[in-house]
């Protein structure tokens, strides 16, 4: 009854709500949405261009070439290793504090399962998730037969931008900055892999 009086007070019936009634907040400092990233070869370039449009429009003082390479590496890493068709990506620029954040996450296969599919790293299927995540940052460590520098490059680019990288997989996390690297178990268990990057502007 109280809920009904609340809606009547504002002369609004939620049962009749349609998409045309929604007026999402639009801003020039973000992508205005969480992007569903389809697993296809050209998706990394499309996401990179979308982010760079925001950075250029807002005149963010940050190394655009590093940010471009960082996004290409993050999205391509998903494309090659996620094991599912979709991931979510978002970015935001905060002009008052001059910071850029990038986030990507998928919901299926985590690093432990992906890495242990390579017989060389099979024992990581039974080790803590954060250990598998730490291992994945090492050069030439991969679930495949070639490559293995994706997360290494991501780490190097974030550090070159004086940023912070946070990666969660399963119930483990790794947090990397120029000051320190932290890692360990979390109180909750997340499917897939989530990556959050914080980049300071000038």
How far is the first Cα of the chain from the last one, in angstroms, to the nearest whole number? 53
Q: For residues 104-130, give the mean pLDDT.
A: 91
Q: Are 125 and 116 in contact (CB under 8 A)?
A: yes
pLDDT in tens, 41-78: 788 898 899 999 999 999 999 999 999 999 999 888 77
Q: Are 100 and 106 in contact (CB under 8 A)?
A: no
Locate 139 and state its tokens: 């050069």
Listed ranges 6-10, 110-114, 130-134; the one with the highest mean pLDDT: 130-134
pLDDT > 70: percent of the chain: 80
Order across the sheet with 181-200: list the strands: 35-38, 86-94, 99-105, 181-200, 164-176
Domain map (residue ranges) of the chain? 22-200
CATH 3.30.565.10 fits 22-200, yes or no: yes
Confidence band, pLDDT 50/70/90 cuts, at residue 3: very low
CA distance 189 to 123: 20
Write down the pLDDT at residue 145. 67
SS3 state of residue 175: strand
């Amino acid at each position: 009854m109280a809920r009904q009086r609340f809606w009547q007070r504002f002369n609004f019936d939620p049962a009749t709500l349609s998409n045309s009634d929604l007026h999402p907040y639009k801003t020039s400092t973000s992508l205005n949405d969480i992007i569903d990233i389809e697993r296809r070869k050209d998706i990394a370039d499309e996401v990179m261009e979308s982010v760079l449009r925001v950075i250029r429009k807002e005149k963010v003082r940050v190394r655009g070439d590093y940010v471009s390479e960082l996004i290409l590496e993050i999205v391509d890493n998903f494309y090659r290793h996620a094991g599912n068709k979709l991931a979510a990506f978002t970015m935001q620029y905060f002009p008052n504090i001059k910071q850029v954040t990038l986030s990507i996450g998928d919901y299926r296969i985590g690093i432990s399962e992906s890495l242990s599919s390579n017989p060389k790293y099979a024992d990581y299927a039974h080790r803590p998730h954060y250990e598998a995540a730490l291992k994945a940052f090492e050069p030439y460590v991969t679930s495949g037969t070639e490559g293995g520098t994706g997360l290494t490059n991501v780490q190097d680019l974030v550090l070159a931008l004086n940023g912070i990288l946070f990666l969660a997989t399963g119930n483990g996390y790794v947090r990397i900055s120029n000051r320190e690297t932290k890692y360990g178990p979390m109180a909750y268990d997340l499917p897939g892999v989530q990556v959050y990057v914080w980049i300071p502007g000038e």
